Structure 1
């Protein structure tokens, strides 16, 4: 007997808002018992500016969580505490390694209740951290959204979070839509599945348009140097000053080092939902389909294969959302249904169109990452080289930790950025049904067989190799070339 199709309501998921809360998040905790938390959160920007955040938190009383009652209150407490946490860690010239009990103890209790790790996650900075300006207007309208909490108080930081909020709101209706498609596929309703896929393709197209609005009000320099450092976790952050991670001191037991990834869009349950219902499978970064098949054939009853970064990020989602994805994963049937009905041109086209839209969205995301992180890291590297290798940066964080190789750049979640993003994009096209669509989505259009030359020609030691008209030139701290962006 097939397992039932999950009901979103059983996981706290709204048919309209999706993974956003059914009601707008609380702007403050109602019980005055938590006034000190709210006071610090409200003054986070001046406390960070004056470098006084750590002294204030060290004097903060250790408050019990017994006065938190509703889910909305627990979520608000989490938002407040993780913003204070990251301000405490990254709000000085060097990151703070030890977290005091007055922050550790309530944070652990809140995180246990919400089933999230003690670090700023996508849920904390996006899903539970917004308010509609006009409650009667939709949350997928960026002109109707504001942030509850930021580190910098800047429009850029608010916009960075709110673009994701709008995407979540716009994608929310796709959840019941695709559950309907799964149920229809079980009973062979080809027309219903086709119509659902057509609607999903349109939603994905609209989500991509929202993603591209990031450029409207979020400046790349401000993001890289002012916002991104506060979002960093403690995993793979040796270059940023946390070689061992963080010591969460509960005042009772000797603290041990813990490492967590920071907030990442890979923690969006919505994006992973799209992958699951469309049958997109992601492998560990650097592992090809051939590698995976070879390993599976040789492993047989041996140890299970390791999961990739995307699957690992489910551990950073709220518990109910994580379980929802697991349950949907166990019943997903759209890809095999379309494959079994590949003679239906409308169905096949609708499915491949969804993959195309999802791949395009990932393409646009890579472009954003390139502009906001890769290019900015090169600017920072040139600035550090101009200042001299013997001079230490005044502040150590994710913005000043600049590796020589852009392939080694880490996201706030701790993963190698570009290899991960490009592989995730390429994997999106692999399930395509039509042979031409599969080739186009998996590998791109056929290329003329000329030898390829690097556009940038950048070497691991930072110097630039001239490779003809498609190469680069340097002048002082600038670089460019006829074919070089």
Structure 2
């Protein structure tokens, strides 16, 4: 029996807003009973500045979550406690590994209800952390958005979250469009599939332009030193001061340490939807494709046998980072992606109709635009993390031993120290999700081109390190577009060219977030 096309309403997905809530998130929990939580969040920056946050949180009452009535209230409570918890852990000179009962007990209950881990996630910082300035204006317009909460109170942090909100909103119509294309492919309505793919490619190009607006109002120095440390979880954070992870003290005495990844754009359901619907397959970092390369002489029968429904749905191996990130999505959103995996057929359909040039061109254009989007993200990671990390190490080395820098242990300082030991100790800069990400990001980008159908497009899109594709020093060519901000050499080294000079970075560095 052919599985049914998923209904968006069954999975808390909106045809208008996609994975964003249909109604703007609550700006305040309406019941005065929860005023102690809201008061702490409203004064978060002042409490950290005066070093009172931890003592204030320790004295909070343990509030009952049973008084949360609507899903909007549960989401708001998750946002509030997530921000307070991370500020409690990372907001001092050294991180604290134990969260007290006033936070631990309700945070665990709320997380269980929403089917998300008790940690700051993409859902709490992006999906449920925005409001429109004017209700009658669209929310895919950055000039019509504001955040509800930040750790630093800075414009830079708000902008960092809001760019993702706008991307989610701008991409939302693609969900229904491509599910209609899946249905059309079942009945061989190629014209509908072609038009859907063309619109998809244009939207992906638009999203790339929207992503680069990050540079408008988010300063790399502010992000690296002030914002990024608060987004870290407890996974792989020994160098940052959390060797065991985090312990949620519920007052029982038998609690165990847990390690969760921090907030990450890999937790965006819309980005994973793009991969699934196009049949892009991601593997654990460092592994090679498990299927043979496809050339223009491959037969239709070969294609059909190679692309089983599982492969076509782009199911990642159980131990892959991409798959693991679904645990950090709202439960219904993760189940929606699983349902889409069972029905995704576009890649298989295009493979079986490779003689339809308009169809294959539209499909390959989507892959090219998605690969370009990932390339832009690697450039952003380089600018916001790699360059800032090396600047920090350079400044640390230049300080006089008589005047050492103030010691404040967090993700930024740990990244700088670890980065300085790359060659000697093999340590790597960590992203907020707890993993070294340049290798991950580059492999994810290169994997995006693997399903390409046309032989020329496949050569163009599969031009990763060592692939033998033509390169221009300091430039990359994708789909005829020249990208001059970053070049990647055959050795795997990335070169970033900017107004102040050229930096070279290697695979050992980490990233902002995970796309």
Mapped to 1, the partners of 2:360 and 2:27 lie a distance apart of 46
Q: Tell me how large the CA RMSD over aligned residues is.
A: 2.5
Partner of 2:395: 383
Partner of 2:361: 349
Change (3 A) 1:177 1:480: closer
Mapped to 2, the partners of 1:333 and 1:204 lie a distance apart of 20
Contact 1:139 1:145 in 2 (8 A): yes
SS in 1 for 2:39: helix
Contact 1:121 1:264 in 2 (8 A): yes
SS in 1 for 2:411: coil
Change (3 A) 1:135 1:448: closer
SS in 2 for 1:55: helix
2:444 to 424, 447, 450: 424
Mapped to 2, the partners of 1:267 and 1:43 lie a distance apart of 28
Mapped to 1, the partners of 2:101 and 2:360 lie a distance apart of 57
Structure 1, gaps ≥5 residues long: 294-303, 453-469, 473-478
Change (3 A) 1:214 1:348: same
Mapped to 2, the partners of 1:389 and 1:409 lie a distance apart of 25
Q: Which moved more, 1:363-372 or 1:441-450?
A: 441-450
- Residue 388 of structure 1 and its aligned partner are, at CA, apart by 6.2
Q: What pairs with 1:39-438 in structure 2 (closer than 5 Å)?
A: 39-289=39-289, 306-387=318-399, 393-401=406-414, 402=416, 403=418, 404=420, 405=422, 408-438=428-458
SS in 1 for 2:396: helix
- Residue 385 of structure 1 and its aligned partner are, at CA, apart by 1.6
Per-residue CA deviation, residues 114-164 of structure 1 (Å, 9 max, x unaligned), is 000000000000000000000111010000000000011100000000000
Per-residue CA deviation, residues 77-98 of structure 1 (Å, 9 max, x unaligned), is 0000000000000010000111
- Residue 290 of structure 1 and its aligned partner are, at CA, apart by 5.2
Contact 2:246 2:258 in 1 (8 A): yes
Mapped to 1, the partners of 2:15 and 2:471 lie a distance apart of 49
Partner of 1:457: none
Does residue 15 of the first structure (1) align with residue 5 of the second (2)?
A: no
Mapped to 2, the partners of 1:197 and 1:364 lie a distance apart of 21
- Residue 253 of structure 1 and its aligned partner are, at CA, apart by 3.9
SS in 2 for 1:282: coil
Contact 1:408 1:417 in 2 (8 A): no
SS in 2 for 1:66: helix
Mapped to 2, the partners of 1:251 and 1:267 lie a distance apart of 31
SS in 2 for 1:206: helix
Change (3 A) 1:185 1:449: closer
Contact 2:90 2:410 in 1 (8 A): yes
Contact 2:25 2:129 in 1 (8 A): yes
Per-residue CA deviation, residues 370-419 of structure 1 (Å, 9 max, x unaligned), is 00001000011112222368957521001101222398221100111100
Structure 2, gaps ≥5 residues long: 294-315, 475-492, 506-515
Per-residue CA deviation, residues 158-190 of structure 1 (Å, 9 max, x unaligned), is 000000000000011110011001111111111
- Residue 307 of structure 1 and its aligned partner are, at CA, apart by 2.1
Mapped to 1, the partners of 2:201 and 2:441 lie a distance apart of 21
State TM-score, norm by structure 1.
Answer: 0.89
Change (3 A) 1:448 1:175: closer
Partner of 2:487: none
Mapped to 2, the partners of 1:370 and 1:123 lie a distance apart of 25
State TM-score, norm by structure 2.
Answer: 0.84
Contact 1:284 1:306 in 2 (8 A): no
Per-residue CA deviation, residues 273-307 of structure 1 (Å, 9 max, x unaligned), is 000000000000111115999xxxxxxxxxx9652
- Residue 330 of structure 1 and its aligned partner are, at CA, apart by 1.0
